[in-house]
Chain A
Amino acid sequence: MPRAPAITLPLAAFAAALAFVVAGGVMAGDVALFRAHATAWMSALMAMPAMWHFLRRAGRRPLGQSWRLWWTAGWLMIVIHMWWGLGALHQWDAASVFARQGLAIAGPTFLLELVWTVDVVLAWTRRDWADARGWAGAWHWFAWALAAACFFVSLILFRNDAASLWTGALMLAVLLSALLRRLAAMEEA
């Protein structure tokens, strides 16, 4: 049996997520606020498979197309999140985000946008993207850790709403499971 192309699921998930963001905004009380929140949830949901893959495989096995596609889908959604979060809610005034959230919160968020973008560019331009070593491999780890930390803080610690909390809890469970699988595999080896 031929396997389904790796792109099918990430593409379908991204399309469904974007449709949810767009249609949900129309039905919600505030389009921009809903879409800013919903794109953050969707970004986390789509980054989850990639982060799970990464934690299990990085440094041990090639990352695979699934990681690259899900990681890219999550990044695309975080870019769209910027459109509504920074553009619609803050009128593209980044300084107002820092003024409102403080450097400790806003700084890592903007840093994540930058680091994730570079990481996706690396994933699609380097021949050794699946098994990167040296600074590129370190960058993958840095991007992963920064994303995990930012999602953990924004989804769980901020406790904005039930949807955020559930998304954060799911991400935590997925990452813990990946960590356990990795530890188990290392022990077996």
Chain B
Amino acid sequence: MIRAIVNWVAILASLAALIASGLWLWGERIWSRPPAPDAVSGTEDPGYRAFVHGPIGLEIFPLKYAAVIEAVSGHAFRRDGADPRSLWEIYGFLPNPRATGAPLCAANARDQLPYGFTITRTLPGRAADTPVAFVGLTCAACHSGRIRHAGGVSAIIDGMGNPEIDVIGFSEAVRTAVLDPGLTADRILQAYAEQCPGDDPGPVMAAIERWLIAAWLDGFRASVAEGLRRYGLPRWPHGAEIAAPDTPRHLLEPAGPGRTRPFRSVVRVALDLPGEDNHAFSKIPVVFEQRRDLRPRSQFDGSIRDPVVRAFIAAYASGAAPVTLARPEVAATIRDAARWTETLGIDSPVPSLAEIFPDLPAPDPALLAAGAAAYREDCAICHGWRDLETGRWIAEGALLHRHLPLDRIGTDPERVTFPHGRLLPLALWTALPGAGELLAAQRRRLDAARSAALAASRMGEAQIWAELRARLDRSARQFRLGHPLAFAECTGPDCSACAAEAPGARAPDPACALTATAGYYTNPIPRPWLRAPFLHNGSVPTLRQLLNLDDRPVAFCRGANAYDPVAIGLIARETLDPADCPPETPFLFDTRLRGNSNAGHDFPFTRAEVLADPARAARLEAIIAYLGRI
């Protein structure tokens, strides 16, 4: 009798397990569907949708945690409790134009989450679809911004680098939050239930949610804990483990608002090497008019040829795993968003300085004409010029689309001389396996690089290439048909020039997909007024300072800076003491620190030359007037 009962119980339990498995698999097909376009966007342009709403594999945490993050982890994101701003505001995320101020719940999340957030059901770092919603970043989180003026703030301008977002500080704070042992799935779900009492998932879904959130938390926590030995302890907002409690922010975590340390991340993810000695700070760039004929190479150092490869590397360096990037909707987003940026500002409108500042007096036509002429004589050689009649950017200039060596441009060198930079092109190219001949070429190049390193007794480097070869073999098994974002090493039939690329090369082969050079690349500068602060590291607040019409500040306050349409750039209090910085701009940008130099780009005149000759100053005033219109 007992045996019969056990028997039937086993059979029924087995049938229940089969049904549950089947339902889960059926559910995965539903959870993997992207949201209907009209639910998230007012435009049908797939490029815009991809840029603003499309997932790029950067899911961070569960939506329900995002909803209650202030309540359960607020202390991890704040150094002290005095700042009244929301957690999102503190870190410079853009408020959603559709936000109503209602508590963030699942039902209204698309309207209440900051701009540049998306909702998917993909478990972070994996290719698994689940019933639990996760929030992730889109291109727009970093590459959209606003202008602060006397009347408030402008509408969001897609394509400009967000000068306020503090992504490094935010990611450090997320590490701190996740390591908090008091953060549990139960605590998150309990706080959410209190905040959104009408959102009851039912007992089965609640159990699944608890399991998945706990699994996410365990996995994330383990990954952060493992990374402590490689990345160091979290430096912000509580860096007391590594420095005195009152250490100013800019000395604890020196990137600050509007900047990232992209190559520290790339070195970590592509080479699995520590990046702590990396001071290659980079402001978040604008992505207007990225058309290939205007910008044959992108990045400040011209290290990437293809906009899609650029978009892939941006997501990859920010933490997107290859397996997530291989998801069809993610790969499509990367391609569509990159394509959209090629014509953003050409086919898609971007507001002008005059539209943002309607009260700004229009420049005298004679001054504008003089400025256009002076710009063409002094600046177009490197940047090309805008025809004010047609609005077209003319990519003509003797030094346009060239690598300017460091000794010629004189700007901060860290961005192009950081450790391991020489290894990156091959490491990045082989991060995504191709198929067939492309895969064979990737294997050959890694083997050749290892042989060359061994022959030169660079044993550490040889070990790296051996490990990357093993990684390539593993991922080739994973992506049997090749990764959908895998790319060719070069455009021509012979990649030998690319293979020979090395730091210091003065004229890299333009066919190379990726290069490593010790110089900065000359590209067009459409809408220079939206590029503040200036230079690749954001070390010069205004265009007048960049052109040496005004002195460049030694140190200044950064954060939510207001905009000066006359000086064309950010209004930043100059001070050497972080205690003098106003609450809305608390970060002290000290140009004396490594990676922050504001020297160089003394074109067309040095500061001394401008001071010595008023005619030069007048000429630059005219150029400024022109730059405010292009």
Instruction: For residue A21, give the distance in angstroms from its CB to the closest CB of chain B.
Output: 8
Which of A50-58, A87-95, A122-130, A166-174 has 4 or more CB atoms under 8 Å from chain B?
Answer: A87-95
Q: Is the CB of A31 within 8 A of B127?
A: yes
Contact with A along B5-42 (1 / 0, CB 8 A): 01100110111011011001100000000000000000
A96 at the interface (CB under 8 A from B): yes
Contacts of A21 in B (CB 8 A): 21
Q: Which range holds the interface residue count of chain B?
A: 20 to 34
Contacts of A91 in B (CB 8 A): 481
Q: Is the CB of A19 within 8 A of B21?
A: yes
Q: Is the CB of B15 within 8 A of A15?
A: yes
Contact of B18 among A18, A89, A97 (CB under 8 A): A18
Q: Is the CB of A4 within 8 A of B3?
A: yes
Contact of A29 among B21, B126, B436, B477 (CB under 8 A): B126
Known A8-B10, A26-B128, A31-B128; contact A18-B21, beta-carbon cutoff 8 A: yes
Contacts of A90 in B (CB 8 A): 480-481
Contacts of B3 in A (CB 8 A): 1-2, 4
Q: Is the CB of B7 within 8 A of A15?
A: no
CB-CB nearest in chain B for A97: B480
C-alpha spacing A32/B18, complex, angstroms: 19
Contacts of A99 in B (CB 8 A): 436
A100 at the interface (CB under 8 A from B): yes
Q: Is the CB of A15 within 8 A of B130?
A: no
CB-CB nearest in chain A for B25: A22
Contacts of A5 in B (CB 8 A): 7, 11
Q: Is the CB of B17 within 8 A of A15?
A: yes
Central interface residue in B15, B17, B25, by most chain A CB within 10 Å? B17
Instruction: For residue A25, give the distance in angstroms from its CB to the closest CB of chain B.
Output: 6
Contact with B along A27-50 (1 / 0, CB 8 A): 111111100000000000000000
Known A15-B21, A18-B18, A25-B128; contact A30-B11, beta-carbon cutoff 8 A: no
Contacts of A23 in B (CB 8 A): 24
Q: Which range holds the interface residue count of chain A?
A: 20 to 34
B323 at the interface (CB under 8 A from A): yes
Known A18-B18, A93-B481, A100-B480; contact A7-B123, beta-carbon cutoff 8 A: no
Instruction: For residue B166, give the distance in angstroms from its CB to the closest CB of chain A.
Output: 30
Q: Is the CB of A8 within 8 A of B11?
A: yes
C-alpha spacing A97/B130, complex, angstroms: 29
A12 at the interface (CB under 8 A from B): yes
Contact of A8 among B7, B130, B436 (CB under 8 A): B7
B190 at the interface (CB under 8 A from A): no
B251 at the interface (CB under 8 A from A): no
A116 at the interface (CB under 8 A from B): no
A87-120 contacts to B (CB < 8 Å): 89-91, 93, 96-97, 99-100
Q: Is the CB of B480 within 8 A of A11?
A: no
C-alpha spacing A160/B476, complex, angstroms: 13
Instruction: For residue A102, give the distance in angstroms from its CB to the closest CB of chain B.
Output: 14
Contacts of B436 in A (CB 8 A): 99
C-alpha spacing A96/B436, complex, angstroms: 10
C-alpha spacing A22/B126, complex, angstroms: 14
B4 at the interface (CB under 8 A from A): yes
Instruction: For residue B434, give the distance in angstroms from its CB to the closest CB of chain A.
Output: 12
Instruction: For residue B538, give the distance in angstroms from its CB to the closest CB of chain A.
Output: 36
A153 at the interface (CB under 8 A from B): no
Q: Is the CB of A16 within 8 A of B17?
A: yes
Contacts of B128 in A (CB 8 A): 25-28, 31
B348 at the interface (CB under 8 A from A): no
Q: Is the CB of B21 within 8 A of A22?
A: yes
Known A2-B3, A5-B7, A93-B481; contact A19-B17, beta-carbon cutoff 8 A: yes
CB-CB nearest in chain B for A25: B128
CB-CB nearest in chain B for A11: B14
Contact of B125 among A12, A18, A29 (CB under 8 A): A29
B71 at the interface (CB under 8 A from A): no
Contacts of B477 in A (CB 8 A): 33, 160
Q: Is the CB of B480 within 8 A of A96?
A: yes
Contacts of B20 in A (CB 8 A): 19
Contacts of A16 in B (CB 8 A): 14, 17
Known A18-B18, A19-B21, A22-B21; contact A28-B478, beta-carbon cutoff 8 A: no
A57-94 contacts to B (CB < 8 Å): 89-91, 93
A144 at the interface (CB under 8 A from B): no
C-alpha spacing A26/B213, complex, angstroms: 12
Instruction: For residue B120, give the distance in angstroms from its CB to the closest CB of chain A.
Output: 14
B440 at the interface (CB under 8 A from A): no
Instruction: For residue B236, give the distance in angstroms from its CB to the closest CB of chain A.
Output: 29
Contacts of B611 in A (CB 8 A): none
Instruction: For residue B573, give the distance in angstroms from its CB to the closest CB of chain A.
Output: 47
C-alpha spacing A87/B13, complex, angstroms: 29
C-alpha spacing A100/B17, complex, angstroms: 36
B215 at the interface (CB under 8 A from A): yes
Contact with A along B348-370 (1 / 0, CB 8 A): 00000000000000000000000
Known A14-B14, A15-B17; contact A30-B480, beta-carbon cutoff 8 A: no
Q: Is the CB of B18 within 8 A of A15?
A: yes
Q: Is the CB of B478 within 8 A of A30?
A: yes
Q: Is the CB of A32 within 8 A of B14?
A: no
Contacts of A18 in B (CB 8 A): 17-18, 21
Known A27-B215, A28-B126; contact A89-B14, beta-carbon cutoff 8 A: no
Q: Is the CB of B481 within 8 A of A33?
A: no
Central interface residue in A11, A21, A90, A91, by most chain B CB within 10 Å? A11
B320-378 contacts to A (CB < 8 Å): 321, 323
C-alpha spacing A166/B99, complex, angstroms: 55
Contacts of B4 in A (CB 8 A): 2, 4
Q: Is the CB of B126 within 8 A of A31?
A: yes
Q: Is the CB of A12 within 8 A of B25?
A: no
Q: Is the CB of A12 within 8 A of B18?
A: no
C-alpha spacing A126/B17, complex, angstroms: 31
Contacts of B478 in A (CB 8 A): 30, 33
Instruction: For residue A85, give the distance in angstroms from its CB to the closest CB of chain B.
Output: 9
C-alpha spacing A2/B11, complex, angstroms: 16
Contacts of A1 in B (CB 8 A): 3
Instruction: For residue A80, give the distance in angstroms from its CB to the closest CB of chain B.
Output: 10
Instruction: For residue B515, give the distance in angstroms from its CB to the closest CB of chain A.
Output: 31
Contact with A along B104-130 (1 / 0, CB 8 A): 000000000000000000010111111
Instruction: For residue A29, give the distance in angstroms from its CB to the closest CB of chain B.
Output: 6
C-alpha spacing A5/B525, complex, angstroms: 78
Contacts of B480 in A (CB 8 A): 89-90, 96-97, 100
C-alpha spacing A99/B481, complex, angstroms: 10
Contacts of B127 in A (CB 8 A): 30-32
Instruction: For residue A111, give the distance in angstroms from its CB to the closest CB of chain B.
Output: 20
Interchain residue pairs A-B with the least CB separation, the first 7:
A15-B14, A15-B17, A26-B128, A12-B14, A4-B7, A11-B14, A18-B21
A-B contact pairs, 21 of them (CB 8 A): A4-B3, A8-B7, A8-B10, A12-B10, A14-B14, A15-B13, A15-B17, A19-B20, A22-B21, A25-B128, A26-B212, A27-B215, A27-B219, A28-B126, A28-B128, A29-B321, A31-B129, A32-B127, A89-B480, A90-B480, A100-B480
What 11 additional pairs, Cβ within 8 angstroms, besides A11-B10, A26-B128?
Answer: A2-B3, A14-B14, A15-B15, A19-B17, A22-B21, A23-B24, A30-B478, A33-B477, A33-B478, A89-B481, A97-B480
